[in-house]
């Protein structure tokens, strides 16, 4: 019998990390290792090194990050670049020092240039200027990709390592941060519409013009894609990547305007008022649709219908609301 793989999921309490744990639990041949933030500060290099030195780990999923929407990115750029650089560098280097052979790093589609041709191919990386409102976060995520590539280039043959990266589109789902000030668009709108419904308000105001288009991926679909990519045979993975363009896009092809999205969330929540758009606030990029052909051609595809995903996310919001949850913390 082969021993169980010991898999560390960094960021297991967050939206993506918790979905990864749920996906990995389907396999009884793995042992899942987690650490809460209070027990392991991923910004502390010495603590991370000590964790890997004292804990036997075969694989690592890097789902820990400081995340947020446009407002948070604009308000806390130093925190976004510093914390994300520290988290991913400490994990990847600490794992390497401890002999971990396989890592999957989760990036973000904001790594691509603001005016990249749509749908965005993997090789669009570093071909143009980034969106200014989240440039610090994007630069940190680009550094994570290049860190994995650089370790593979220098140590792939000598140490047998295989570090991979996936670039998901906009992700939503249970255990998201429902903070109206700093969250991503879907959880922020869920909070706003529910609060307006509860307080019998006549309207909800949404940032921007409502015209930008965004693609959305349910967190459990992303988790299944991550496990799929991690478990691809090395030869197959290498056939579908380039030495200096090694990441793989993960998308859903579910694309809506922010206006259409707001209408859908209004319906799911049951709010009966009107929606106003504050055009004095930034829109961000006008469109961000990624091309996931490389991954779908390998046999993976999303399974969760968007309306069902929104409903499950709203149910999660209501459950956590009952439990007294309201996160002001954007580290996961």
Distance, in Å, from the CA atom of 4 to the CA atom of 29, rounded to the nearest integer, reads 5
pTM of the shown model: 0.93
Residue 46: pLDDT above 60?
A: yes
Residue 222: pLDDT above 80?
A: yes
Considering only residues 324 and 16, tell me which one the structure prediction assigns the higher pLDDT.
16
Q: Which fold has domain 5-174+216-252+289-305?
A: Rossmann fold (3.40.50)
Residue 149: pLDDT above 60?
A: yes
- Long-range contacts, 223-227 (Cβ 8 Å, 24+): 223/16, 223/19, 223/20, 223/22, 223/23, 224/23, 224/300, 224/303, 225/166, 225/168, 225/250, 225/295, 225/300, 225/302, 226/20, 226/23, 226/61, 226/104, 226/106, 226/166, 226/250, 227/20, 227/23, 227/24
**What per-residue confidence (pLDDT) applies to 217?**
97
Considering only residues 1 and 191, tell me which one the structure prediction assigns the higher pLDDT.
191
Distance, in Å, from the CA atom of 310 to the CA atom of 187, rounded to the nearest integer, reads 10
* Token pair in block for residue 37: 């933030």
Considering only residues 73 and 17, tell me which one the structure prediction assigns the higher pLDDT.
17
pLDDT digits (tens, 9 = 90+) for 244-254: 889 999 999 88
3-state helix, strand, coil in the chain (%, to 5): 45, 20, 40
pLDDT digits (tens, 9 = 90+) for 101-112: 999 999 999 999
pLDDT, averaged across the chain: 93
pLDDT digits (tens, 9 = 90+) for 161-192: 999 999 999 999 999 988 777 778 999 999 99
Residue 122: pLDDT above 60?
A: yes
**What per-residue confidence (pLDDT) applies to 116?**
94
pLDDT digits (tens, 9 = 90+) for 185-205: 999 999 999 999 999 999 999
Considering only residues 95 and 68, tell me which one the structure prediction assigns the higher pLDDT.
95
From the candidates 61, 112, 137, 163, give the one annotated as an active-site residue.
Answer: 137
**What is the residue whose two structure tokens read 């706003």?**
192
**What per-residue confidence (pLDDT) applies to 332?**
47
What Cα–Cα distance (Å) separates residue 82 from each residue in 46, 58, 64, 125, 276?
17, 27, 14, 21, 35
Look up 172 and say whether it is catalytic.
Answer: no
Domain ranges of the chain: 5-174+216-252+289-305
Average pLDDT over residues 114-138: 94
């Amino acid at each position: 019998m082969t021993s169980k793989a010991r898999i560390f999921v960094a960021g297991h309490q967050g939206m993506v990390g918790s979905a990864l744990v749920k996906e990995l639990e389907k396999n009884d041949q793995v042992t899942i290792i987690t650490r809460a933030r209070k027990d392991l500060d991923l910004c502390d290099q010495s603590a991370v090194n000590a964790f890997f030195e004292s804990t036997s780990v075969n694989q690592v999923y890097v789902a820990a990050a400081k995340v947020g929407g446009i407002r948070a990115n604009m308000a806390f750029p130093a925190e976004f670049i510093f914390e994300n650089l520290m988290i991913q560098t400490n994990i990847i280097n600490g794992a390497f020092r401890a002999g971990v052979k396989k890592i999957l790093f989760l990036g973000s589609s904001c790594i691509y240039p603001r005016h990249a041709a749509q749908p965005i191919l993997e090789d669009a990386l570093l071909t143009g200027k980034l969106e200014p409102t989240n440039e610090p976060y994007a630069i940190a995520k680009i550094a994570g990709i290049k860190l994995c590539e650089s370790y593979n280039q220098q140590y792939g043959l000598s140490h047998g390592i295989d570090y991979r990266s996936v670039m998901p589109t906009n992700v939503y789902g249970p255990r998201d941060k429902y903070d109206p000030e700093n969250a991503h668009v879907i959880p922020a709108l869920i909070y706003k519409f529910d609060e307006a419904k509860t307080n019998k308000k006549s309207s909800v105001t949404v940032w921007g013009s409502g015209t930008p288009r965004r693609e959305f991926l349910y967190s459990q679909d992303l988790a299944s894609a991550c496990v799929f990519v991690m478990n691809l045979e090395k030869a197959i993975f290498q056939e579908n990547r380039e030495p200096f363009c090694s990441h793989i896009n993960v998308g859903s092809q579910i694309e809506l305007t922010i206006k259409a999205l707001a209408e859908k969330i209004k319906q799911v929540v049951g709010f009966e008022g009107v929606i106003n758009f504050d055009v004095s606030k930034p829109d961000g990029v006008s469109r961000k649709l990624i091309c996931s052909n490389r991954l779908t051609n390998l046999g993976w595809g999303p399974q969760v219908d968007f309306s069902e995903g929104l409903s499950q996310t709203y149910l999660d919001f209501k459950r956590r609301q009952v439990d007294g949850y309201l996160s002001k913390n954007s580290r996961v």
